[in-house]
Amino acid sequence: MTSAIETPPTLTVEGEEDLVAIRFDAVAAYHGQAALAMLAVTFQALRVMLPALSPQRPPRRADLSVLSGHPGPGVRDAFEFVTRAVTRGAYTVDRTLPEARLCPGLDVSYSWRVSMDGRTVGAALRAGVLPDRFFDLVARGAGKNDAERSEFSALKRRIAGDVLAAAPDTLFERL
């Protein structure tokens, strides 16, 4: 999956009683491979947003709410695994967010906001992080034939590896 990454990226949140260190490979095991690229992108966005939201200590999971401009399963599962926001009813999708509207013809924003205690931090994916071919395949449904499905699967794995190998701050504009 992400064999180029020797040590999977980790982030930390405060659970009910203790700090919880969450490695990307655990999030990937929870999600599977269907939307691996967006799972990695969202995990890296959380690595940018959570420390900015709570710089003194990891944020308390139960205090976090999420606004996502992207409805996809990789995005949802990354937020759910880390924040439990979906289960707690603290997860909202708003496809009209104006930032990072990177895929022509697709009504989604590649941006997110996480809130806690009246503060909000956001991140918008920078143009160029996801290759044009990714958007081409997304727009076409990427499932028209076996060759296209195979190409898209390999591309998502490559993107996930590249995104996880990058410094999170290089991937996003802060909102």
Write down the pLDDT at residue 143: 64
Per-residue pLDDT of the chain (175 residues; tens, 9 = 90+): 444 456 789 999 999 999 999 999 999 999 998 899 999 999 999 999 999 999 999 999 999 999 999 999 999 999 999 999 999 999 999 999 999 999 988 899 999 999 999 999 999 999 999 999 999 888 877 667 888 889 999 999 999 999 999 999 999 999 9
Write down the pLDDT at residue 45: 98
Domain parsing of the chain, residue ranges: 10-174
Check if the beta carbon of residue 82 is closer than 8 Å to that of residue 22. yes
- The kind and range of the H/E element at 81 are helix 73-83
CATH no. for 10-174: 3.30.1330.130
Rounded to a whole number of angstroms, the distance between the first and last alpha carbons of the chain is 30
Write down the pLDDT at residue 4: 46
| SS3 assignment for 118-161 | CEEEEEEECCCCCCHHHHHHHHHCCCCCHHHHHHHHHHHHHHHH
For strands 119-125 and 172-174, give the pairing: antiparallel
**CA separation, residue 164 to residues 3, 129, 168 (Å):** 11, 11, 8
Output phi, psi for 116, to 5 deg. Answer: -165, 130
**CA separation, residue 10 to residues 21, 83, 168 (Å):** 6, 14, 12
